[in-house]
Structure 1
């Protein structure tokens, strides 16, 4: 074995889900977190150091769910954190899949319950949740939509999903 063997990826799964935004030049995709400070620190520790041309964004469809898998790694920081979450299929995901144009802007989003009674929807009703999208971005060019049964058994995606399923079944 050579010393160029890829480092194992540490999979981070403690985020709420995945959000999509369509109103920019390029579509945005963002893992959703509940708290701004931990999300900001995680971005600075890992994603901020990923070279844009090495970031991989995978959507592995599995029945009525899909696996969101994001990884890049940094040689400079020696950090190899990846992000994984199994989420239900949604209209937003389908719209994203059809409409993205070979490039996506990666950001982090903060999705939390609104506790300010003055924050209202346009119709005057109480706004239940607030979404804040952090300013830092990365450009992602390596985007793939895959089917679970078609994954190669030695692929990063297969190994990630298998590891997550094993961890979930042992809990």
Structure 2
């Protein structure tokens, strides 16, 4: 097995859902068209559909007294797409509220022989009605599309690109995040430290960025299940800092 470095990408703003077809579709939402095209052309486009893996990891967060008020203040100041909305035909449809205080991690990755590395797309999101519906109705396959989110006043419009991947390696997992905090992880830092500078990384693997969180190199593991477990573990170590 070749040695694959791990690269982290979080420069998308959330997920959209289209759940009205035989197979559901999730949309990676971007607010920057150039970044969207780079993510597709330089990474996702090069992934074989049958080698892409998606993991939804629900997080059991123990909320301390008063934390809800803090979270509500932070959400009010955040101009982000509500992942509790249904996206279809370039329109936004709200079908329910997010579950206060409950989170899930979205982790999508592929060990690419072409890129000679593993790019990991990751995001920490609030559990929503749409997520619950996707989990309940998932039946062996989903589609991944990319969309540009354009804010106009108090509403959103989507430009959905003709980029699509079909993914059948999907799992819904659960972790009690506070029961598995590892030594050396500063979960209170709040630092968004995932450096996803595509220009500096794709095609220039010998040029390491100043802060490269290359936690895992697969050369010591020949079994895919151990490789996958390490990807999930390292992704959760990064996302813990956002809690």
Q: TM-score band, normalised by the shorter chain?
A: 0.7 to 0.9
The answer for the alignment partner of 2:39 in structure 1 is 42
The Cα of 1:5 is off from its aligned counterpart by 5.0
Task: Name the CA shift for 1:147/1:134 in 2 (closer, same or farther; >3 Å).
Answer: same
* 2:85 aligned with 1:85: no
CA contact (8 A) 2:4 2:116 kept: no
* 2:234 aligned with 1:159: yes
Task: Name the CA shift for 1:6/1:149 in 2 (closer, same or farther; >3 Å).
Answer: farther
Q: SS in structure 1 opposite 2:112?
A: coil
The answer for the alignment partner of 1:67 in structure 2 is 105
The answer for the alignment partner of 1:52 in structure 2 is 49
Aligned partner (choices 133, 139, 148) of residue 175 of structure 2: 148
Aligned partner (choices 11, 14, 23) of residue 14 of structure 1: 11
Aligned partner (choices 22, 25, 30) of residue 27 of structure 2: 30
2-side partners of 1:132 and 1:37: how far apart?
A: 13
CA contact (8 A) 1:46 1:73 kept: no
CA contact (8 A) 2:9 2:121 kept: yes
The Cα of 1:79 is off from its aligned counterpart by 4.6
Unaligned runs of 5+ in 2: 61-101, 181-225
* 2:160 aligned with 1:133: yes
Task: Name the CA shift for 1:132/1:100 in 2 (closer, same or farther; >3 Å).
Answer: farther
Q: Which has the higher contact order (CA 8 A, sep 6+)?
A: 2
Give the total of aligned pairs: 154
Deviations along 1:111-145, whole A, 9 cap, x unmatched? 12026xxxxxxxxxxx7110222211111000000
Aligned partner (choices 83, 91, 113) of residue 151 of structure 2: 113
Q: For the aligned residues, what is the CA RMSD?
A: 2.5
Deviations along 1:31-51, whole A, 9 cap, x unmatched? 211022220121110011111
2-side partners of 1:68 and 1:43: how far apart?
A: 18
1-side partners of 2:38 and 2:22: how far apart?
A: 27
The ranges of structure 1 where at least 4 consecutive aligned residues each deviate by more than 6 angstroms after the TM superposition are 150-153
2-side partners of 1:67 and 1:5: how far apart?
A: 28
- TM-score, length basis structure 1: 0.80
The Cα of 1:6 is off from its aligned counterpart by 4.5
The answer for the alignment partner of 1:122 in structure 2 is none
The Cα of 1:78 is off from its aligned counterpart by 2.6
Q: SS in structure 1 opposite 2:11?
A: coil
The answer for the alignment partner of 1:104 in structure 2 is 142
The answer for the alignment partner of 2:221 in structure 1 is none
